[in-house]
């Protein structure tokens, strides 16, 4: 016991200067590499990641459909413990368990202070992890604007209960919030992938009277029911537009949520919408998106089309965790598979190919 504090610190420093991380090298080129553990600057923190997952967006990055620069660590859904705090971060201690949203607003710019946290600094600017800065599929993660983004996890919650709140739950539920679902509204949710399933859960939380899911994958159809859908229509077997019109006595739904990002689903969402209704869009579209004029009532139907990027920041995470604490939201059924970080490329393959009824894959660094 004769080692001095300084010697211990030196030893720790030597022992832990590198970490394993999933690095993007170019389209269809990802792999685990040894990279330096980040050091926090003023206002930043470094967390040791204890649990993360793979997002559909990461698959787009892998395929080269969403450009990020080669050498970037990807992933944006971190749960971890505080490893190191930069100067100026107060109210936290090393070892605190934290959830960090996929979107990390600075909390200080005109967008943030105006309430548009996800658009921090400009369009899509709140999305930094695995996009413009290194991401969460690693042993350690540098968190920018730590004071605005470290959300302490209540002691009663396990990592698995909160990991999906970082992105898909915040995103999916936000579709119901942006659509301003009123108690008693009828809602259709197009596509029941991870985000669509969370949108379905969000519609239920907001008090919809009838929730109609649209999906063709049997596993996802069943999960939609579990998340709150009353009826799930298989678009490969049914004309969903006329079926939804029939279910709403010819009127159409009050709110239609689009959770896929294709012309077809966007158009169907518009076709099932009542006059004055809201199309709440979550999809990430590519190419061109066109609006058919007949269901849009030539522009005179008082329709609202709203889009939402995942809300982030620690207050958003706190609110979502409270839903879990009080038993109003349980997303653990969506966690179908688990892999150690070293086997993450296998996890990407399984998730990308949608094999074995996969919905979300846990990654344990």
**Interface positions with Zn ion (CB under 5 A):** 55, 57, 105-106, 109, 112, 120, 167
Which residue lies nearer to Zn ion by CB, 99 or 208? 99
Which residue lies nearer to Zn ion by CB, 78 or 228? 78
Which residue lies nearer to Zn ion by CB, 165 or 212? 165
Closest approach of Zn ion to the CB of residue 118, in Å: 10
Which residue lies nearer to Zn ion by CB, 241 or 359? 359
Which residue lies nearer to Zn ion by CB, 57 or 268? 57
User: What does each C-alpha distance from 291 to 281, 294, 352 come to in angstroms?
Assistant: 13, 9, 30
Which residue lies nearer to Zn ion by CB, 105 or 311? 105
Which residue lies nearer to Zn ion by CB, 248 or 262? 262
Angle at 124 between CA 122 and CA 125, to 5 degrees: 55
Q: How far apart are CA 38 and CA 46, in angstroms?
A: 7
Which residue lies nearer to Zn ion by CB, 120 or 191? 120
Closest approach of Zn ion to the CB of residue 82, in Å: 22
Closest approach of Zn ion to the CB of residue 365, in Å: 18
Closest approach of Zn ion to the CB of residue 45, in Å: 17
Which residue lies nearer to Zn ion by CB, 191 or 232? 191
Closest approach of Zn ion to the CB of residue 85, in Å: 21
Q: What is the 3-state secondary structure (H, E, C) of the chain?
A: CCCCHHHHHHHHHHHCCEEEEEEEEECCEEEEEEEECCCCCCCCEEEEEEEEECCHHHHHHHHCCCCCCCCEECCCCCEEEEEEECCCCCCCCCCCEEECCCECCCCCCHHHHCCCHHHCCCCCCCECECCCECCCCECEEEECCHHHHCEECCCCCCHHHHHHHCCHHHHHHHHHHHCCCCCCCEEEEECCCHHHHHHHHHHHHCCCCEEEEECCCHHHHHHHHHHCCCEEECCCCCCHHHHHHHHCCCCCEEEEEECCCCHHHHHHHHHCEEEEEEEEECCCCCCCCCCCCCCCHHHCCCCEEEECCCCCCHHHHHHHHHHHHCCCCCCHHHEEEEEEHHHHHHHHHHHHHCCCCCCEEEEEC
Closest approach of Zn ion to the CB of residue 108, in Å: 6
Residues 172, 196 contacting (CB under 8 angstroms): yes
Closest approach of Zn ion to the CB of residue 264, in Å: 22
Closest approach of Zn ion to the CB of residue 77, in Å: 7
Rounded (10°) CA dihedral 55, 60, 62, 68: -100
Closest approach of Zn ion to the CB of residue 40, in Å: 19
């Amino acid at each position: 016991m004769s080692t001095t504090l300084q010697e211990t610190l030196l030893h720790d420093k030597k022992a832990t200067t590198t970490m394993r991380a999933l690095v993007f090298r170019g389209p269809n080129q990802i792999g685990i590499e040894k990279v330096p553990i980040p050091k926090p600057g003023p206002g930043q923190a470094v967390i040791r990641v204890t649990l993360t997952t793979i997002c559909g967006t990461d698959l787009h990055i892998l395929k080269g459909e969403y450009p990020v620069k080669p050498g970037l660590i990807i992933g944006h859904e971190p749960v971890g413990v505080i490893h190191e705090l930069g100067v100026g971060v107060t109210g936290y201690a090393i070892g605190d368990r934290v959830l960090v949203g996929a979107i990390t607003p600075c909390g200080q710019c005109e967008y943030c202070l105006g309430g548009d946290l996800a658009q921090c600094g400009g369009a899509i600017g709140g999305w930094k992890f695995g996009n413009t800065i290194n991401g969460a599929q690693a042993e350690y993660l540098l968190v920018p604007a730590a004071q605005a983004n470290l959300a302490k996890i209540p002691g009663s919650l396990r990592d698995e209960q909160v990991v999906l709140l970082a992105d898909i739950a915040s995103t999916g539920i936000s579709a119901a919030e942006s659509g301003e679902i009123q108690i008693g509204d009828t809602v259709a949710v197009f596509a029941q992938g991870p985000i669509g399933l969370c949108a379905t859960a969000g519609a239920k939380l907001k008090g919809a009277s009838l929730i109609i899911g649209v999906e063709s994958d049997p596993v996802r159809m069943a999960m939609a029911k579990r998340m709150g859908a009353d009826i799930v229509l298989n678009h490969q077997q049914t004309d969903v537009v006329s079926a939804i019109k029939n279910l709403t006595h010819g009127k159409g739904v009050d709110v239609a949520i689009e959770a896929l990002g294709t012309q077809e689903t966007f158009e169907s969402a518009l076709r099932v919408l009542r006059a004055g209704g809201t199309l709440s869009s979550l999809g990430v579209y590519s190419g061109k998106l066109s609006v058919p004029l007949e269901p849009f009532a030539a522009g005179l139907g008082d329709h609202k089309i709203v889009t939402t990027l995942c809300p982030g920041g620690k207050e958003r995470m706190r609110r979502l965790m409270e839903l879990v604490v009080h038993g109003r939201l349980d997303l653990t059924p969506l966690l179908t598979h688990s892999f150690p970080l070293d086997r993450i490329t296998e996890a990407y393959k399984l998730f990308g190919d949608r094999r074995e009824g996969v919905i979300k894959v846990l990654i344990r660094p």
